[in-house]
Structure 1
């Protein structure tokens, strides 16, 4: 018997119309009140994109590519906070007799994956009560992959392709700014998330020794507790604030010029969404709008490296795991 009979992509999900946005936010809030100010702010962000997050479309494109390459191995898609709902997807899989899925949560870092397990456990109990214990699949979760060679190769290839678009005389001056979803500091240190991120950035830094590498944390909540810092926007404004754990102490003079000095030519700045395998609103707004506008206002030529989810290396990574003994 084969170890797996299907692939399930278990993702955060996103709205696909303005009508979907508020219910999506309420699902995330889980009964907590969302202030009118915060709701209006987020709605204004989504309005720039007609309420459509790029995540679901990107995952459907992944599914199309997967089905072309391995049509005998079905792929399913269920969301934590949006449609298609995880519970409905698992019910469909049970009806189709799929009992041994490989579950792929699209985040390379194990510390972030843990935030998905509460919903999974809840759905597992509900379906067991509804359909019986045997109906719920014997799922295995794809392990954290921030150290996986295929993932690192995919990220590196994306960076190299963007660097190739920059003139040769400026290419080595380009600054690589990895932007990664923040978490509450205490949680990120307790579950190893911060350490995983730092290790991945150091591995990628070693592949681009000619370029300055920086790390920023994005999309922190407004909750009144400490979150990982510095923010991506703070790094763009003042790259000297980088935590010394990220870079060698001997690097004191940043390649990025001080934007307060008139007449200095800013180097190319690559925005790299490392923790997001698929395009989503936190990339589309936080990086493509907010970070880009700030960086360009300071004179940086800005290049955004695409997310890696549709690169062939990611499908190979999953296919190798599925076929391994």
Structure 2
């Protein structure tokens, strides 16, 4: 198939205090979230001036991808559309149509299988094309990349750099803690063609990063950024609870690595750089948070390589063994029931 454009697919975030509440209402539409709960979440954004860093991170990534495309002879024009805030994907698709684009490759800023991290992007594409109507270009999402060297190796280097900031005299009681966004247990059970793929892929990524960065240290995969009503089971343990358990077992220092994320957006800098860091301080734990890939040249090159897999038949680069897939099977990763609080 011939493709004539590239589009970056992401979550979106507010860039002004006046945008925070409209953004949160957009994210939670149809879930019956009370305004007072949204106001509580809004305070996380106001802590950073009402600006989520995710949009600028997308701009930076797209600028780096353009340079790498040019260096590798890829002449695709580039676009960017979000799920929840400007630039909205439907507006981007309309612009692509007006520019004469007919078939684009889409890169989502999530490495894993699952509803929110994979299938929902397919739904975003379908809804945007339906809204635009006749002439809307087809968009094919690039594959998941949880075990691609361009994703794993920047995470591993970041873990090594974070570890170097901790007291080497306490290395024997230091532990690696990998984190990812929690999801409902029911959603996790249906993630992937055979179920459970979200958690399994994250376990594989964490194991690959651990082996490359600090194989001598013990590690755990835990969860962060849980939302929803307390009666609905989500993946556990939460990172803050887990830090308490580790402190009780004699661990003195932790490196927290957000392997579930591609950039340092708000759920990283609030949940880990504020809440988890405060928890560690209260427990007397040495704490270092590893960076995410962001615009690391290897991550940028990975995007180019994923495009070349589709356009030039380049063999996939993979470090793991778990299956990945290009398009969700019909029964894969169903949408969750929308109820409760964020």
Which bin holds the TM-score, normalised by the shorter protein? 0.7 to 0.9
Q: Aligned-residue CA RMSD in angstroms?
A: 2.0
Partner Cα separation in structure 2 for residue 55 and residue 92 of structure 1: 22
- In structure 2, the residue matched to 1:225 is 232
Partner Cα separation in structure 2 for residue 116 and residue 210 of structure 1: 38
CA drift at 1:22: 0.9
Give the TM-score taking structure 1 as reference length.
Answer: 0.85
Query: How many residues are matched?
Result: 297
Aligned 8 A contact 1:150 1:313 in 2: yes
CA drift at 1:311: 0.9
Partner Cα separation in structure 2 for residue 68 and residue 204 of structure 1: 27
Q: What does residue range 127-166 of structure 1 map to in structure 2 within 5 Å? A: 127-128=132-133, 132=134, 135-166=135-166
Look up the SS of the partner of 1:49 in the other structure: coil
Aligned 8 A contact 2:143 2:306 in 1: no
CA drift at 1:167: 4.6
Partner Cα separation in structure 2 for residue 117 and residue 68 of structure 1: 27
Give the TM-score taking structure 2 as reference length.
Answer: 0.81
Partner Cα separation in structure 2 for residue 154 and residue 171 of structure 1: 22
Partner Cα separation in structure 2 for residue 119 and residue 164 of structure 1: 41
Greater relative contact order structure (CA < 8 Å, 6+ sep): 2
The answer for unaligned runs of 5 or more in structure 2 is: 192-196, 314-342
Aligned 8 A contact 2:8 2:62 in 1: no
Aligned 8 A contact 2:10 2:81 in 1: yes
Look up the SS of the partner of 2:248 in the other structure: coil
Look up the SS of the partner of 1:139 in the other structure: strand
CA displacement 1:271-314 (0-9 Å, x = unmatched): 21111102211112111111111111111221111111211111
CA displacement 1:90-148 (0-9 Å, x = unmatched): 111122222332211111111121233322222121222xxx1xx22232211111122
Partner Cα separation in structure 1 for residue 77 and residue 295 of structure 2: 17
Taking structure 1 as reference, are residues 97 and 29 closer, same or farther at Cα in structure 2, changes over 3 Å only?
A: same
Taking structure 1 as reference, are residues 119 and 67 closer, same or farther at Cα in structure 2, changes over 3 Å only?
A: closer
Runs of 4+, deviation exceeding 6 Å: none
- In structure 2, the residue matched to 1:190 is 190
Look up the SS of the partner of 2:95 in the other structure: helix
CA drift at 1:37: 2.9
